[in-house]
């Protein structure tokens, strides 16, 4: 009887984990709100670029805008490749806006960070 209960509990837990994974996948892998994503991006950039408060505030606005558009794109399409293609120009325009708030040294570091992130995205796309 104990083995049966344990087996049923294990099966239930497996189903629950599978259901959560599928829900996450349906949501385009999005688990954080656009606000959280933008805040996270600003924090990462601040660590790398030593941003002023004014820079953080300005970059947050554009990061939030990108995150909201990104979420909409993933929610409204089943084709991930098409979604990534739609994101390219949005990311580019956001990068241009962000760089407008950076000094020359920060801009150079930002370019290096963006190159790293692009390479990681390309690696993930190849593995999918």
**End-to-end distance of the chain based on CA atoms, in angstroms?**
43
pLDDT above 60: residue 6? no
Query: How much is the average pLDDT of 22-27?
Result: 54
Residue pLDDT, tens place only, 71-117: 998 888 888 888 888 888 998 999 999 999 999 999 999 999 888 88
pLDDT in the model for residue 45: 93
The predicted pLDDT at position 83 comes to: 85
pLDDT at residue 31 greater than cutoff 70: no
Give the burial class of 97: count Cβ atoms within 10 A of its Cβ; 0-12 exposed, 13-18 middle, 19 or more buried.
Answer: middle
Instruction: State yes or no: pLDDT of 30 exceeds 50.
Output: no
Q: Where are the domains of the chain?
A: 1-31, 33-127
Distance CA 2, CA 83 (A): 49
- pLDDT value of position 53: 96
The residue among 121 and 7 whose pLDDT is bigger is 121
pLDDT tens-digit series, residues 34-61: 999 999 999 999 999 999 999 999 999 9
For residue 69, CA distances in Å to 8, 25, 50, 65, 76 come to: 42, 18, 27, 6, 11
Q: How would residue 10 be classed by pLDDT, with cut points 50, 70 and 90?
A: very low
Are 98 and 123 spatial neighbours (Cβ–Cβ below 8 Å)?
Answer: no
């Amino acid at each position: 009887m104990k083995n049966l209960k344990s087996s049923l509990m294990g099966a239930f837990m497996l189903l629950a984990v599978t259901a959560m994974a599928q829900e996450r996948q349906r949501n385009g892998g999005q688990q954080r709100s656009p606000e959280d994503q933008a805040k996270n991006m600003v924090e990462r950039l601040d660590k790398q670029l030593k941003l002023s408060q004014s820079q953080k505030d300005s970059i947050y606005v554009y990061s939030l805008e990108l995150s909201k558009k990104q979420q909409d794109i993933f929610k409204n399409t089943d084709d991930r490749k098409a979604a990534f293609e739609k994101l390219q120009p949005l990311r580019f325009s956001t990068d241009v806006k962000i760089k407008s708030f950076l000094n020359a040294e920060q801009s150079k570091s930002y370019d290096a960070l963006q190159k790293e992130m692009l390479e990681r995205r390309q690696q993930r796309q190849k593995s999918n």
